Amino acid sequence: MRRIFVGLGALALGFVTAIGGAAAQDRIKAGTLVCDVSGGIGMIGTIGDYARFAQMLLNGGTLDGKRYLKPETVALMTSDHIGPETKIARDGAHTPDTYNGFGLGFAVQTAQPSNSRLPVGAYGWAGAGGTLFFIDPRNDMFVVCMMQTLTQRVRIEAELKTLIYEALEN
């Protein structure tokens, strides 16, 4: 990941973990970002860096004329790998759920709920603290939303998606 982030010019994008007993927040305050792949938690960065990463994925692995990932790699990353045939439990509160499977690093929309306009094939992730992003190849767009709320994030995410897709229809 570090090579991709640095190549994108996304120098503040990375994963922060606790090292040597110091909390990640203390490392950030001290100005020393510690990049380490953490398996889906601890990704930090600026909205601009996150946007460059999302645009590269939307472009099928390229940005500013440079290839970072093969199109086949992006397709593999954004395809559901835990379909119903895997018999992995779906609890409705976590991915996978009724409408989302899981690719290699992303929730992948596999069905369209009646109360959502997010199309099948869209993919992304939402963090516990509220930051979320999704990429919608069908509409050639991505969304990055940075917020900090543990209690309102699900409601805000649903309202944000509704507003975006209503605007596309009008």
Q: What is the dihedral of CA 141, 111, 97, 93, to 10 degrees?
A: 60
- Average pLDDT, 10 consecutive residues per value, the chain (170 residues): 69 57 45 47 75 94 95 95 81 72 89 85 85 94 90 88 91
Exposure b/e, 94-130, CB count within 10 A at least 16 = b = ebbbebbbbbeebbbbbeeeeeebbeebbbbebbeeb
pLDDT in the model for residue 82: 86
Which pLDDT value is given to residue 160? Answer: 93
Q: For residues 3 and 118, what is the distance between their CA atoms, to the nearest angstrom?
A: 31
| Entry pTM | 0.78
| Residue ranges per structural domain of the chain | 1-77, 80-170
Question: How does DSSP classify residue 156?
Answer: H
CA angle 103, 50, 78 (to 5 degrees): 15
Confidence at residue 36, expressed as pLDDT on a 0 to 100 scale:
45
* Predicted local distance difference test score (pLDDT) of residue 34: 47
Dihedral sign, Cα of residue 27, residue 154, residue 119, residue 76: positive
